[in-house]
Amino acid sequence: MGSEVYTTMEPCSERLSKKTSCTQHLLHHKVKRVIIGVLEPDNFVKCDGVKLLEEAGIQVDFTTDLTALCTALNSHLTAPL
């Protein structure tokens, strides 16, 4: 409770499998801050992770110095289908 979470990509707000989303897990565990590398692309579902976290009062920040690395690590998700 009250922890900070670092993630390379925006926490998902919906999963096609209908399992609990990353955003819902963060809300449930009452994290206080989420630091994100890059936004999730709209390849699979429209992601509202940042919006939902901020609406719940969770501080959301972005890493600017690690953006290129986070993009590279997630390139398999951002490449055109």
pLDDT in tens, 51-65: 999 999 999 999 888
Q: Please give the pLDDT value at position 78.
A: 62
Q: Which of 27, 32, 28 is nearest to 6 (CA)?
A: 32
Distance CA 30, CA 78 (A): 29
In contact, 37 and 70? CB cutoff 8 Å = yes
Distance CA 15, CA 18 (A): 5
Secondary structure string (H, E, C) spanning 2-47? CCEEEEEECCCCCCCCCCCCHHHHHHHCCCCEEEEEECCCCCCCCC
- Please give the model's pTM, rounded to 2 decimal places: 0.81
Query: Where exactly are the structural domains of the chain?
Result: 4-78
Fold of 4-78: Cytidine Deaminase; domain 2 (3.40.140)
Q: Is pLDDT of 67 > 90?
A: no
